Amino acid sequence: MAERAARMNPAMLTAGSAEPRVDSVGQAEAAHGVESSGQTESPDQARCPYLVVRDPDVVREVLHRPADFSPANALVAVTPLEGRALRVLQRVQFALPPVLASNDTDTHAGIRKVVAGYFTPATVAAMEPRIRELAQEAARNAADRLDSSGHADLVRTVAAFPPAVVMLELLGLPVRDLADLKRWGLDSMELFWGWPDEDRQLELAHSAAEFYVWLRKLVAESLTAPGRNLFKSLAEHGLSTPEMCSLGYFLLIAGQETTTQLISTTLFRLLEGSAPVGWEDAASEAGSKAMVRHVLTTESSVPTWRRVAAHDTNVGGAPIPAGAEILLELSGNHITSPSQPAQRGPSTAYGLVFGSGIHRCLGAKLAELEAAVTIQETAAALPGIQLREGEPEWIRLLSFQAPRTVTVTGCRESKPL
């Protein structure tokens, strides 16, 4: 319990992020599939001070040895937070005790079971008509915007909101404050997986604190709301309010922004013409599914994930000292392979893009379904559109990547929507 309390201290969120540096595990460099990030093509070791594991077999092995490679660093800030930002978080009692993604104790299985109950294959399949309805509505909005102004940003009109609506509906939570939720999600991703300087940390900490206060209210309200919802189920399972807030903080971001980003990259690569599937083919079920799989393996929205060595161990023939932080490559990405265009970079087997083993993503089926349906409906509703901009600005964080905008222009053939 003492250890658990220590982890709940917001200051601890930053404690493990900078040490040890990869140079302390230099002997691992020659080992199969395990590289210090200084030996990869990363131009800036300070941005990626991890032992990078790229070989899919070694990645899988690490994920399947949770006793040796703990997920405890999953939510640790990549850039240590400085005093002003920490104080903003402490003022609202912000804490992320380990419950799900970063939980390496034996409480994980039971909590995971409760959450999994909201994303069963049957529940996800039954959601398809609703997902299609939302995708069609979003595509209609994009078409209206194109008609009225001659251009539209498909991230904002098509990719952003439907995944958030679907997630909240599945969890039995009220669908509200969606614009705030999207902003909070992106800000928290940057705060925990980015390289913000001190002033930016402060801005992002204010946003994270706002999100956390909103979440605490939502948790309290949900406990007395009629019907079934995630927080009621977690409370029945015995979780405390900080534990429920921690779980909600991760899930309300991971459960929708990652899908938004997958849709955004897929739309961009399709319209850029660099993908194996054309825009017209993407209007079919098979075409959209194939394209989503292609992006997942070559340039997923969650291209890397972290683990930390729980004790002195080894993997792929390399000795790994206790405390070494490891970055697992799940797909082509802009961080560990920045000089290779991600879409042409070495692709990891599809089987790893949602993780593997006891922490494997609980939303994998849902995310793929949402992305494929959204791509299909958008391509069907907007034939003949073209990219308006060349290379957009990208979200490029340690474990998240996507274009911030996909702005398209006109030439919409008239087709009944």
Distance CA 117, CA 237 (A): 13
- Going by C-alpha positions, the residue among 88, 136, 111 that lies closest to residue 237 is 111
230 phi and psi angles, rounded to 5 deg: -55, -45
Q: Cα-atom radius of gyration of the chain, to the nearest Å?
A: 21
Give the residue, chosen from 17, 258, 265, 298, that forms a contact with ligand HEM under the rule CB under 6 A.
258
Distance CA 123, CA 237 (A): 21
Whether the Cβ atoms of residue 329 and residue 54 lie closer than 8 Å to each other: yes
Size of the site for ligand HEM (CB under 6 A): 31
Residues 43-102 close enough to bind ligand HEM by CB under 6 A: 63, 71, 100-101
Q: Cβ closer to ligand HEM: 14 or 264? A: 264
Residue count of the chain, please give it.
417
Residue 87: CB minimum distance to ligand HEM, A = 29
Give the residue, chosen from 73, 157, 298, 300, that forms a contact with ligand HEM under the rule CB under 6 A.
300
Q: Find the part of the chain contacting ligand HEM (CB under 6 A) among 2-10, 226-234, 250-258, 407-415.
A: 250-258
- In DSSP notation, 123-159 reads HHHHTHHHHHHHHHHHHHHHHHHHHHHSEEEHIIIII
Residues 348-377 close enough to bind ligand HEM by CB under 6 A: 353-357, 359-363, 366-367
* Cβ-based neighbour number of residue 4 at 10 Å: 12
Residue 172: CB minimum distance to ligand HEM, A = 13
Q: Cβ closer to ligand HEM: 21 or 257? A: 257
Residue 147: CB minimum distance to ligand HEM, A = 30
User: What are the tokens at 55?
Assistant: 């070989």
Provide the terminal-to-terminal Cα distance of the chain, rounded to the nearest Å. 57
Q: Cβ closer to ligand HEM: 146 or 167? A: 167
Whether the Cβ atoms of residue 142 and residue 407 lie closer than 8 Å to each other: no
Residue 109: CB minimum distance to ligand HEM, A = 9
Give the residue, chosen from 85, 215, 330, 395, that forms a contact with ligand HEM under the rule CB under 6 A.
330
Minimal CB distance to ligand HEM: which residue?
363
Q: Cβ closer to ligand HEM: 267 or 367? A: 367
Give the residue, chosen from 13, 76, 251, 342, that forms a contact with ligand HEM under the rule CB under 6 A.
251
Give the residue, chosen from 28, 96, 302, 385, that forms a contact with ligand HEM under the rule CB under 6 A.
302
CA dist 68 → 35, 323, 355 (Å): 18, 10, 16
Residue 97: CB minimum distance to ligand HEM, A = 14
CA dist 257 → 47, 98, 113 (Å): 23, 21, 23
Residues 188-227 close enough to bind ligand HEM by CB under 6 A: none
Distance CA 45, CA 40 (A): 9
Residues near ligand HEM (CB under 6 A) = 63, 71, 100-101, 112, 115, 119, 167, 251, 254-255, 258-259, 262, 300-302, 305, 330, 353-357, 359-363, 366-367
